[in-house]
Amino acid sequence: MKTLTMDDNLQHESVTPKAPKRKKKTKGDFWKSVGQQKYLYFMSIPFVIWLFVFSYVPLWGWTMAFQNYKPAKSFSNQKWVGLKNFVELFQDERFYLVLRNTLAMSIMGIVVGFIVPIVFAILLNELRSMKFKRTIQTVSYLPHFVSWVVVAGIITKLLSIDGGIVNEILLSLHIIDQPIQFMAKGNWFWGIVTASDVWKETGWNAIIYLAAITGIDKEQYEAARVDGASRFRQIWNITLPGIRPTIMVLLILSIGHLTSIGFEKQMLLGNSLVTDYSEVLDLYALKYGIQINRFSYGTAIGMFNSIVSIILLFTANGLFKKFAKESIM
């Protein structure tokens, strides 16, 4: 059936190529342009539907946060409890602890995770030997494809007291005389997570900056060289301003994700001795929500997360718009 119509269409396409233009539009510019671009509009419909189904319809599930949700019952049979889940959430002291951990680790992650890849990309860009540059680039982004399960294994092995290389080096340099149990120290955990994240993601995150640098007009460098600018000057006055829009957009987006940093790293690197530092919001939602069938409570946490994200995103966007004249909206 469908193929038939397609064939028909193909046959008639050549006969009536200018048909749309002959139609009269009197409903203003917007509708005019809609009319002109209707094929484009129609082609986008599936994606609008897709967005609606997967991003907006699930918002209906937020109603669960105000219910005492039971899986087997229909919507009309659920018990409504008002803000009970939120009251419970904000009264739990554990919640503030995990919020602290989440914010601490994501802020550390943003600070380090921005500076290092940018510096790395710029340094890489300054290399003369293309062969060397490409090798370094490939080597440095490969860890991105290694799963966190494996990375966590490598990190714990590196930092282990049972022949871990870090302890061995420190011992042989006589910096310490007893091996240090890195993974058992709660206040070191944030640092370890941030450092492993940097190792894993630096090369990958640098790619986008390298791409942005390539987009800078070469004539600017040539002009600067004619004016006698040193290489450092060129970086400071041409490269950095050149990738500024990219940096801003990525920064605003990642501020929006401040509270949702995932939980794989924390779950895989953490252990019972450091839970007070390793438990993050998502892990808390998993443990105290879904794992014990408290779907409503888990939804309340998720909702809190989303609302905070939206507020942060708009605040960051507004501030940048005002002071840095850069924004994503």
Partner 1 sequence: MKNFRTTKLLTLVLAGTLALAGCSSSKDAGSSGAADGGNAADTNSTAPVTFTFFGADASPNWNNMKDDVGQEITKKTGVTINAEYDVGSGGGDQKISLMAASGQYPDLIYAKGSLSTLIDAGALVDMTDLIDKYAPNLKKLYSSNMNRLKYSNEDPKIYSIPTNVGVDNMIFDATGGFEIQHRVLKELGYPKVKTVQDYENVLKQYVAKHPTTNGQPTIPLTLNADDWKIMITVTNPAFQATGAPDDGEYYIDPTTYEAKLHYKRPEEKEYFRWLNHMYNEGLLDKDTFVQKDDQYKAKISSGRVLGLIDQEWDYQDAENALKSANKNEFTYAHFPVTMSEDIKDKSMQSVGFDGYGISITTSCKDPVRAIKFLDWLASDEGQVLRNWGVEGKHYKVENGKRVIPAEIQNRKVNDASTFSKETGIGLYTAMSGRYGDGVKDSTGNYYTTNFPEQIVASYSDAEKESLKGYNATTWKDLFPNEKDFPVKDWGAAYNMTVPTDGEYQVIWKKTQDIVRKSIPEAVLSKPADFDKVYDNFLASLDKAGAPKMEAEYTTLVKARVSLWTGKDIK
Q: Maximum Cα–Cα distance for the chain, whole Å?
A: 87
The 3-state DSSP class for residue 43 equals helix
Dist. CA 118–CA 88, nearest whole Å: 42
Closest to partner 1 by CB, 29 or 162: 162
Closest to partner 1 by CB, 8 or 222: 8
| Contact positions vs partner 1 (CB under 8 A) | 2, 5-6, 8-9, 12, 16, 19, 38-39, 42-43, 45-47, 49-50, 68, 70-72, 94, 152-153, 156-157, 160-163, 181, 183-184, 271-273, 275-276, 287-288, 291-294
The 3-state DSSP class for residue 68 equals strand
Closest to partner 1 by CB, 12 or 231: 12
Taking the complex as a whole, how short is the minimal distance between the CB of residue 34 and partner 1, in angstroms? 13
Q: Which residues pair with 67 in a beta bridge?
A: 80
Taking the complex as a whole, how short is the minimal distance between the CB of residue 299 and partner 1, in angstroms? 15
Closest to partner 1 by CB, 156 or 234: 156
Taking the complex as a whole, how short is the minimal distance between the CB of residue 191 and partner 1, in angstroms? 16
Taking the complex as a whole, how short is the minimal distance between the CB of residue 272 and partner 1, in angstroms? 4
Taking the complex as a whole, how short is the minimal distance between the CB of residue 217 and partner 1, in angstroms? 38
Closest to partner 1 by CB, 292 or 310: 292
The 3-state DSSP class for residue 215 equals coil
The answer to whether residues 65 and 299 touch, using CB atoms and an 8 Å cutoff, is yes
Where do we find the tokens 């149990």?
A: 181
Three-class HEC string of 104-168: HHHHHHHHHHHHHHHHHHHHHHHCCCHHHHHHHHHHHHHHHHCCHHHHHHHHHHHCCCCCCHHHH
Taking the complex as a whole, how short is the minimal distance between the CB of residue 197 and partner 1, in angstroms? 19
The region that residue 80 occupies, defined by phi over 0 for left and psi between -120 and 50 for alpha, beta otherwise, is beta
Closest to partner 1 by CB, 77 or 129: 77
The 3-state DSSP class for residue 250 equals helix
